[in-house]
Amino acid sequence: MQNQNKKSLKWLWIAIAVLAVALVAVWCILAPAHPEDKKDALNFNETFVIFTLVFVIVALGYLLGSITIKGVNLGTAGVFLVAILVGAICALNIWGNGELKGFFMPGEDASIVKYFKGPFQNLGLILFVGAVGFIAGPNFFKNLKKNFKTYILLGAIVILSGTAVAVLFVLVSPSELGPEFWSGVLSGALTTTPGFSAAKEAAGKIFEADISLGHAIAYPFGVVGVVLFVQLMPKILKADMNKERELLKIGVEEERELPKNLFSCDPFGLTAFAIATVLGLLLGTITIPLTAEGYAGACFSLGPTGGMLIMCLVLGHFGRIGKLSFDIPETSLRILREFGLMLFLLVAGFHGGVALVEKMSGDGVGAMVLWGFIGGAFMTVVPLIVGFIVAKYLLKLPLLNNLGSITGGMTSTPALGTLISTAKTDDVASAYASTYPIALVLIVLACQLMIVFM
């Protein structure tokens, strides 16, 4: 009897809830509209549009990334591909003048696109590279000391081979595709935002559209190509991943021991991460002139990405400042790393989709897209192959050190996330972090010098 009463009471509450929802719906539908500010029952404001796009892309992206074919999947890069598609759809004027018109993004100047491209993308990069820095920090300096010359050489080879391909395409492509366009393609093929920014600064406003188009054309293959490469090579070589993980650990320091009298402000390490972020951003603002023109000429700075990576490597290595602990729990770092990578790929893909649709409306763009895609594919594939062969046969690097260094040399943030999943160890981040800085400096210089001297 008691169970029956509980069941009846449950259905009574359900009926009351349904009735309440129905009454609210009827009230909203029958309520008169407000013509001055166009208020209606459905208020599709900018906040609704932004977060609807974000979570639709995240859900569909991870679904796509989970599809595995012969052991290979896109992983988090699935978010990138879905974001490109959604961005392209939003850039098409198919939404009419109704409530859905807020989803129309007429171009890169649309407020939502700017909002994505600014705070969202930078936040993603900061979270990702910061987490990578803390993960790699404890073993970074010993690994760097052991392989310092190797990592510098490999980073240089990767960037120089990609730049050589870019120079070749400048020489053989139609004259209207100048070095500005190909420097944009190079920055996209190597997925480098600092290189892209450096090219725009060197070219000036006149050629900014060419650089942006080249970058947008090459970027998708640059992301997906390296992501697939780091998954396919272990399978092609039929590598014993257990053995490779052991080789990766050879010569690495034992577990770091910190004094026991340190204090932390919260159990998740968020305070330490926040302090590291402020210090890293400050480091990234330091600007160094590269020519005799001083700050009026070409300059170099680490930017938020490079500054954050180096600062977190240092703090992750020492594990403390005075009595304040910077030993962040591994679980927190993994969550921050994945969330940051997802957010970065989401914004980059969405912005790229909008930009492609906007820029493909002009005359002769079809030929530029074809040339740019072919050239970008070569600028991604050639450095991967050359770098891998040099690392394996000349530098004698173990497979995971090799691939970790390649992702750093290609400045490929997404590929590192994929490699960590493939290798099933965070230790590959140390090789990435060791190669990334030299590659970052060289690609910035390459993108600028191509424009200045060609």
Q: Is the pLDDT higher at 45 or at 229?
A: 229
Q: Give mean pLDDT, residues 189-207.
A: 72
pLDDT exceeds 60 at position 252: no
Instruction: Decide if pLDDT at 161 tops 90.
Output: yes
How do residues 279-328 score in pLDDT, each as one tens digit? 998 988 888 887 777 777 667 777 787 788 888 888 888 888 888 888 88
- Of residues 140 and 87, more confidently modeled: 87
Mean pLDDT of 122-134: 85
**What does the mean pLDDT of the chain come to?**
81
Best CA proximity match to 429, nearest among 145, 152, 131 = 131
**What's the distance, CA 365 to chain centroid?**
27
CB within 8 A of 202, min separation 6: which ones? 183, 298, 447, 448, 451, 452
> What percent of the chain lies above the pLDDT cut of 90?
12
- Supply the pLDDT for residue 249: 66
Cβ neighbours of residue 242 closer than 8 Å, sequence gap 6 or more: none
CA–CA distance, 11 with 15 (Å, rounded to integer)? 6
Query: How is residue 179 written in tokens?
Result: 């070095």
- pLDDT at residue 274, as a whole number: 93
Please tell me the pTM assigned to this model.
0.74
- Indicate the pLDDT class of residue 370, thresholds 50, 70 and 90: confident
**Dist CA 252 CA 232 (whole Å):** 26
Query: How far apart are the C-alpha atoms of 256 and 135, rounded to whole Å?
Result: 12
Which has the closest alpha carbon to 189: 376, 356, 441, 450?
A: 376
Average pLDDT over residues 426-436: 83
Give the whole-angstrom CA distance, residue 163 versus residue 186: 7
